[in-house]
A = this chain, B = another copy of it.
Amino acid sequence: MLSAVTPMPFTGAGLDRATDDRRRDPDWLAAQRAHPRARAVVADPSGLALDGDRLKLTPYRGEEPALLLGLDADGPLFAVDAGPPPGPPPAAILGVDALREAGARLAPAEGGLLAYVAALVNWHRRHPRCACCGAATTITEGGLLRICPACDAEHHPRTDPVVITLVIDGTERVLLGRNVRWPARRYSALAGFVEPGESLEEAVAREVAEESGIEVGAMRYAASQPWPFPASLMLGFFADYRAGEPRPLEGEIEDVRWYSRADILAAIHEDPGAPLDVPPRFAIARHLIDTWAGVTAGPAA
């Protein structure tokens, strides 16, 4: 299994999240907030502050709302939201552009914490109201639940599963597509959100067919990666080619085509003659591609 060999970027926060009944105990939460070594990761309008190649931690001073990330060896760790960037809602703490920069600067071990903070702060920024009745909701359980005082509905943070599939034709060629919004020359695995009432395997087959016109056969789960911009969880699969000719989905996929092993190796090694660019190392798609090509992934940076 891929994930057992190379930890995925944006995993590994390694905190005790205290998701058992401790979070439901107001006295316990109050003690964490008053802890002398409580620290916070601060999200402000410009994003997340870095301290060299790490997320900057500041002493926690009881700021509201108290979003308790969990406990590390030194004590409790909070996320503090000092406000979104200017502009109309829905605002996000970090978009993929900012992430690209942070991904290049952050120590790999910090990626899991970044993903956790981004997921939690993004969700609270985008969900202050009750989707059931529209009333303002109240944060509880240290930020892992919002409850509605008007209709009693409970709202947990949402995580949107996304399947990302590398279609392979044995060891010789691999199917990659180009989203219309991507940088020039970039090709990657095919991805899409899981739809209501759909298994991952159904989503893989549907998304590949929709985006590329290709029918797949057997598929194998490889690894997962949080991608909380604002709320995705990437679920990586390999799928065997069965039938069809590549045909891009109009309006979303600019091009979809087979690449040979030699093409992929050239792109991985950044040869000047490579016919494409592969995704950056912090993307799960890159790990799927490297694994297929038999290249051991390097550090995530």
Interface on A for B, CB 8 Å cutoff?
1, 3-4, 8, 10-13, 17, 19-21, 88-90, 112, 115-120, 123, 126-136, 144, 151-153, 155-161, 192-202, 206, 210, 218-221, 223-226, 228, 231, 233, 235, 249-252
CB distance from A249 to the nearest CB of B (A): 6
**A151–B88 touching, CB < 8 Å:** yes
Partner of A224 from the list B115, B132, B200, B252 (CB cut-off 8 Å) is B200
The answer to whether A131 touches B133 (Cβ under 8 A) is no
A-B contact pairs, 21 of them (CB 8 A): A1-B219, A19-B192, A21-B252, A89-B132, A112-B197, A112-B202, A117-B197, A119-B197, A126-B132, A129-B130, A129-B132, A130-B134, A144-B195, A144-B196, A158-B158, A161-B161, A196-B226, A196-B228, A197-B226, A201-B223, A221-B221
Which of these, B197, B200, B210, B249, contacts A10 with CB under 8 Å? B197
Contacts of A132 in B (CB 8 A): 89-90, 126-129
Given contacts A152-B88, A219-B1, contact A228 B195 (CB under 8 A): no
In the assembly, what is the distance between CA of A252 and CA of B22, in Å? 13
Q: What would 14 more interface pairs be, CB under 8 Å, given A11-B202, A126-B132?
A: A3-B201, A17-B195, A19-B206, A20-B252, A90-B153, A115-B197, A126-B153, A129-B132, A129-B134, A134-B135, A156-B193, A158-B158, A196-B231, A199-B224
Could you tell me the distance in whole angstroms from the C-beta of A4 to the nearest C-beta in chain B?
Answer: 6
